[in-house]
Structure 1
Amino acid sequence: MRIGVDVGGTNTDAVLMDGAEVVAWTKQPTTADVGSGVAAAIRAVLADARVAPEAVASVMIGTTHFTNALVERSRLDRVGILRLASPSGEALPPMTGWPKALAGQVDAKTYLLPGGFEFDGREIAPLDTSAIRAAARQLREAGIDSIAISSVFAPVNPSMEERAAALVAEEHPRARITVSHTLGRIGFIERENAAILNAALGSLASHVIAAFERALEDIGVEAPLYLSQNDGTLISAARAAAYPVLTIGSGPTNSMRGAAFLTGVRDAIVLDVGGTTTDLGVLASGFPRESSVAVDIGGVRINFRMPDILALGLGGGTRIHLDPSRYAAEGIAEDELGVGPDSVGFRITEQARLFGGDTLTASDVAVAAGRVRFGDPTRLPALSEPVRDAVWARMQAMLEEAVDRMKTSRGDVVLLAVGGGNFLVPDTLRGAARVVRPPHAAVANAVGAAIAQVGAQVEQVVSYEREPREQALDRLRAEARDQAIAAGGIAESVEIVEMDEVYLSYLPGRAAQVRVRAVADLAGTAAVLAAHAY
């Protein structure tokens, strides 16, 4: 038995799976204290299936807490930044271009110190160990425990970042240290940004992971806990606490993986319709397509692996902006109607017309149009057929435009409609070969978490003059396999699912940036995936 949980901004979804079968599922309100909502969801599925907590073999959780913290500019740590790049790296200070509100929350204390490498591995300047020690002491005295260390061309040679981290740890034992080469790629600013964001999430990550662990302990579930990360695979709770930024794209990836599992379709566009947004992503061979460009998170550009996701301001709680005096009109002009992007979100049961509120939402229109049944239809305003159809047509046009933006070819594509608001996706859309709405579509995100595999990725810049190409590739494959096994994967199930090799013409020695990604099944999942032809 496995439990998958997805903690969203509105609902916490959970499923209990026995093999490939969804034995029980639930939607519970997300709670402010994190743990109680998760505990309520897990208790609900266990009670529904009459399963004892001891029967659970593993628990997988995906959460939007870290994404929301960045978007809402809240619950972030103050960060100490050590940039090893002087004198050449002083022209553009850290956090340049960040939104003022986010930069103000992080309130960084920055040190521009000698160090870093040229693109060919030559030192820009030697490491100043005394300056690093002094900076660490100052940060300790200031009570700043979250520290980000970045160095120019650290992916080519991480030695300076590693040495600086060791020095900081000696002077500031309670520090949580993020080194940039473990997160990003060669682009310095984006990589440094990722390290700063990760450091800023440190306390929140410790709190959230601890809340999850306490929830399981209170219920009596002793199974190992894993968290979903951006590429649709799992990492241990301990690694998620150290690298929370790796999980900020886990919500959409869980839905995409769950949609693929529930339908058996491996190549499609997934529309995950929630209460506030519709997230569109592309499935390629059963995994989310990775973004090939720098991604913007909360207004900050980063360059580590993230799914290629388009967020559309259309969900079940989306506000319909239309003057009530026009509800019964025989027709409305285009400029009289607005759909979103604002939403009532988790307050839908208080504010939507279906539940006695005074706000017209997308769900109200869907019920009025006969697309779905819930709430109290007698509370709906008297919408004329032309008005109702105009709103529905506007929502359909928004979806069609979004699908076109995600397509990479002119042909029609298969669409998988999931999420609690999947009723907003009509059965036919322009540009769609067909629309597939799987069973348990409303909790596809939790299913995606439950069936996820552990993953590992190794990325390194190598010189084929120093190390023969085949030998280097074999070494990196072996490292990725070992990491997947160390993360809890079954050795016999390890599979190399991706290997990218990009030659770097600006580096000497026939250099290439190589990325190898491996996945492996957790105990009990291999047979499930094979039996489900996934």
Structure 2
Amino acid sequence: MLGIDTGGTYTDAVLYGERAGVVAKAKALTTRHDLAEGIAGAVDAVLARAAARPGAIGLVSMSTTLATNALVEGQGGRVALVMIGFKEADLERAGLRGALGSDPVLFLPGGHDVHGNETPLDTGALEEQVEALGRSVTAFAVCAYFAVRNPAHEIVVRDLIRAATGLPVTASHELSAQLGGPRRALTTLLNARLVSLIDRLVAATEGFLEARGIAAPLMVVRGDGALVSAAFARARPIETILSGPAASLVGARHLTGLTDAIVSDIGGTTTDIAVLQDGHPRIDPEGASVGGHRTMVEAVAMRTFGLGGDSEVALEEGVLKPRLLLGPRRVVPLSLAAHLHGDAVLVVLRRQGERATAARHDGRFACLSGVPARYAAGLTPGERALHERLETAPQPLESLLTSNAQLATLGRLVARGLALLVGFTPSDAAHVLERQSGWNAEAARLGAMLFARRRDGNGMALAPSPEVFSARVLDGLTRRSAEALLETALCEDGLDGGSLVMDPLMRRALDREVGMVRLGLALDRPVIGLGASAPLHYAKLPEFLGQECVLPEHADVANAIGAVVGQVRVRIEAHVGQPREGVFRVGTAGAIHDFNGEEEAMSFAEEMLRAEAFERAVAAGAQDAELRVARDVRAVETDGQRTFVEAFVTAEAAGRPRVARHRDA
């Protein structure tokens, strides 16, 4: 079996046998302009190391942090949101307006009530504007009032848009059966925003597999750790947020055998932290929260921090003694940029270092991200002008930007995924101190020197040497990692972890400061550190947290291992309500059905869900799926009289993925 994990910086591959375990592993740089290049680099290397025939592979499974990273960094395609039966004021709920940004939104009359009864739909405004909207966006999102009780209006609007534009359209009832229109609209919007990203990843992987003669099913890890087919993931990319972290949890349990631990997976862009309890990752009942957005996606209870090896290093502004700031934005490390582009970076860094005084944009560059030009739809004139000036090779900001206002314009291009920033990162600091290698150490040292000579509010240099400055950056990353782990643990205890870790007493305890009052803290379980840089950044964690940090063998490819040892799992739900006395209504994502008796309605819901869950499990790639059906009936009893309120029927189908029959290893 072949496991692949495509991260923001590296693509990992592992060849795994059910009896042999890890046979071989390899890494290659993730190539955003053409994801197939990074995948090919990692997979070809792992096949060569194992001397394995491509035709012997029976299953390919992939996890990815690309969707998570996109949401954390505020990236994604431009989307038109169609709201049916909602009002402008609804945008203020669930963070929907903030997530929408400058993307267009259209309100249509229509929708349904809680029992599925309709308000007439009027598509006139949509028919007038749909073609123009289609030319300015990459996808559409459709959300109707109470669509989870009756999806008819969403289906009409979805089909109209697809026929008129040919663009991807996501309807909210396809993603969630939960009530809460604005949050369902948010989830749908984010899904539509990620469609092109995941589509590119799956297409690149499928193209590579075909080229190498690997005729095996392709699976993708979902945010709850389950596996689904590539086609399933393409239609529901939002479900791949936290895919990489979920796979790492499965991998951590498999690699260590620990049943109770805090798992911290540090990558290039993010640190993802979750809890293993009794051998299972805890599922967030409120839905996955990523990049400040609380979605309705069922996923592991994961806290994602914009903290990693490629986090942007910056200085706190407006204070006499500025602190070093890390993230949340990812930038291309200077050492990597110089490794890829040579003198385009080194010549500029040397010239900046020869100047007598430091300048604001020293050590900072920008370049094109490499995504296809069609994803630049809907840019303002200023954004388009700057986008056209960008090149594949990094350009120094001091010459690229003609005014301070253009810095914000560049930030918007980065948020759209159209541009990349290049700057100093913890990965560069590690190269300066010779704790990492493989990229251009000279560029890293020049970047550290440019930072070290910058002045604080008192006119003093930040550090006496590039080495001292780099050591502070790495120490800062370990310290911030400890804060993130402590914040997660406090939140698990039902406390406001984000506020508490900033409390002076908590910070004294975390730093083991000596004083008349001795303060201490310790976690109740070990930390499992994952990620290629975990041994570097987590070695000193026990000093802060009073617990051991387990760094298992193959921690650098835990995600890829988790991708191949998981199960396909599909869960669906039907609602049974009582719109009026004596009528029991079964509502699903497809239609509504009325019955005269409670048991008749419940039995119909169970039978229908069994068939649909099995069908979806097969579509998701399961073989020999097992079914479980459960009822949650809510009724009240008054004076000995039982009154039915509502019920939820759920069906879950789970099984191992289908494996190609030619497998011989």
User: For the residues of structure 2 that align with 1:260 and 1:313, how far apart are their CA atoms?
Assistant: 24
- Residues 259 and 270 of structure 1 are in contact (CA less than 8 Å); yes or no, is this contact kept in structure 2? yes
Letter in 2 for 1:119: V
1:231 maps onto 2:224 in alignment: yes
- The corresponding residue for 1:113 is 109
Match of 1:532 in 2: none
Instruction: Report the equivalent of 2:87.
Output: 90
Cα distance in 2, alignment partners of residues 388 and 72 from structure 1: 21
| Deviation (angstroms), 1:138 | 4.1
Separation in 2, partners of 1:373, 1:200: 35
SS at structure 2 position matched to 1:510: strand
After superposition, residues 274-313 of structure 1 pair within 5 angstroms as 274-293=267-286, 295-313=288-306
SS, match of residue 486 in structure 2: helix
Aligned counterparts of 1:435 and 1:188: Cα–Cα separation in 2: 42
Task: Supply the AA of the counterpart residue of 1:408.
Answer: D
Equivalent residues in 2 for 1:183-202 (5 A)?
183-184=175-176, 185-202=178-195
Give 1:442 deviation, angstroms.
0.8
2:524 partner amino acid:
D
Matched to 2:623, the amino acid is I
1:251 paired with 2:244, answer: yes
Match of 1:413 in 2: 525
CA distance in 1, matches of 2:158, 2:170: 8
Q: Does 1:153 align with 2:286?
A: no
1:225-271 deviations in whole A, cap 9, x for unaligned? 12221111122222222221111221211111111111223442210
Structure 1 residues 37-62: Cα deviation after superposition (integer angstroms, max 9, x where no partner): 11111111111111111111121122
Q: Relative to structure 2, which stretch is displaced further, 149-158 or 185-194?
A: 149-158
Given that 1:148 and 1:195 are in contact with CA atoms closer than 8 Å, whether structure 2 keeps it comes out as yes
Q: 1:425 to 1:174 in 2, by over 3 A?
A: same
1:365 and 1:9, CA in 2 relative to 1: closer, same or farther beyond 3 A? closer
Question: Secondary structure of 2:223's match?
Answer: coil
Residue aligning to 2:121: 127
What is the TM-score of this pair, normalised by structure 2? 0.64
One-letter amino acid of the counterpart of residue 518, structure 1: A
Contact 2:238/2:297 (8 A) holds in 1: no
Counterpart of 1:521, as a letter, is R
Letter in 1 for 2:618: I
Alignment partner of 1:520 is 2:655: yes
Q: Could you tell me how far 1:484 is from its partner in structure 2? A: 1.8
Q: Deviations over 1:480-528 (max 9, x none)?
A: 344223322121x5365x96948499xx952134444432112469xxx
TM-score by length of 1: 0.78
Inter-partner Cα distance in structure 2 for 1:361 and 1:206: 30
The alpha carbon displacement at 1:65 in A equals 3.0
Q: Shift of residue 178 of structure 1? A: 1.7
SS of 1:92's partner is: helix
**3-state SS in 1 of match to 2:134:** coil
Q: Which residue of 1 aligns with 2:479?
A: 394
Quick check: 1:252–1:445 contact (8 Å CA) kept in 2? yes
The one-letter code sitting in structure 2 at the alignment partner of 1:36 is E
- Once residues 475 and 196 of structure 2 are traced to their aligned partners in structure 1, the CA distance between those partners, rounded to angstroms, is 47
Residues 337 and 391 of structure 1 are in contact (CA less than 8 Å); yes or no, is this contact kept in structure 2?
no
Question: Which stretch of structure 1 is more off in the superposition, 359-368 or 40-49?
Answer: 359-368
Q: Which amino acid aligns with 1:428?
A: P
After the TM superposition, which residues 301-450 of structure 1 pair with which residues of structure 2 at under 5 Å, given as runs?
301-318=294-311, 338=324, 340-341=326-327, 346-347=332-333, 349-350=335-336, 362=426, 383=468, 394-395=479-480, 397-408=482-493, 412-423=524-535, 424-426=537-539, 428=542, 434-450=548-564
Q: Please, which runs of 5 or more residues in structure 2 have no aligned partner?
A: 339-345, 350-362, 364-422, 446-464, 495-521, 579-583, 585-596, 637-642, 661-665
Query: Is 1:6 matched up with 2:31?
Result: no
Tell me if structure 1 keeps the 8 A contact 2:130–2:165: no
* Structure 1 residue 146, shift from structure 2 partner: 3.1
* Contact 2:631 2:647 (8 Å CA) reproduced: no
Which residue identity is paired with 1:401? Answer: L
1:90–1:112 CA contact under 8 A, matched in 2: no
- Of residues 442-451 and 286-295 in structure 1, the stretch that sits farther from structure 2 once superposed is 286-295
- 8 A Cα contact 1:282 1:406, kept in partner: no
Shift in CA distance, 101/428, structure 1 to aligned 2, threshold 3 Å = closer
Gaps spanning 5+ residues in structure 1: where? 324-333, 526-534
Alpha-carbon distance, 1:373 to partner: 7.1
Describe the shift of the 1:55–1:443 C-alpha distance in structure 2 as closer, same or farther (beyond 3 A).
same
Amino acid at match of 2:17: D
| Equivalent residue for 1:139, pick from 130, 139, 150 | 130
Task: Letter of the 1:485 partner, please give it.
Answer: V
Any idea what SS the aligned residue of 1:155 has? coil
The separation in 1 between residues aligned to 2:243 and 2:145, in whole angstroms, is: 29
Partner residue of 1:326?
A: none
Cα 1:430/1:126, change in 2 over 3 Å = same
Aligned residues of 2:617 and 2:653 also touching (Cα < 8 A): yes
1:459 aligned counterpart, secondary structure: strand
How many residue pairs are counted as aligned between the two chains?
497
